[in-house]
A and B are shown apart, each in its own frame.
Chain A
Amino acid sequence: DGGITQSPKYLFRKEGQNVTLSCEQNLNHDAMYWYRQDPGQGLRLIYYSQIVNDFQKGDIAEGYSVSREKKESFPLTVTSAQKNPTAFYLCASKRGKESYEQYFGPGTRLTVT
């Protein structure tokens, strides 16, 4: 999982509460991504950021928000507007436009009841 940390590994919240998932990388990568993983559906892109102070919506951004105030950090907030927030969340990073593969963190499993 090298160089990308996500915390916590498991997170439990009550319905109606906002929750923020942490993602930090020390790889000096420019681009960072957030994916959601559900059984049998692969990975779906929530948000991505190519540079500091800039980010773009992915396929399923509704009910989520992000910030990119520092190059090494890309926190994801799951808001109460997200209808089905229970999932495994994966953060990834990529060096820049000249590179190809993304590198993933260990993931955070969020359970909302």
Chain B
Amino acid sequence: DIVMTQSPDSLAVSLGERATINCKSSQSVLYSSTNKHYLAWYQQKPGQPPKLLIYWASTRESGVPDRFTGSGSGTDFTLTIGSLQAEDVAVYYCHQYYSTPPTFGQGTKVEIK
């Protein structure tokens, strides 16, 4: 199984500042046949289901604010919240769909400093 490791486990950021979450996969999630990275990011607020933010490592889902940016390649990926808003307080998960079983990172909790 591909192990997804996120860092940090939690972070506190001031409103309007940048938040950066890292995700490392134990093997590459780049599929040569499509030249795409099979990596998604989700946001989960308390008491709610996860919400898709990013897929293909960097493609923003429709309706997701452009302050959310996904980047990275190979085994190292980053979710950046460009200017943290109060409504961004949540747990964020990365997810690889390159191989079976699909696996998630352990989650990163983002709070307001």
Q: Do A and B bind each other?
A: no
Q: Which residues of B contact A (CB under 8 A)?
A: none
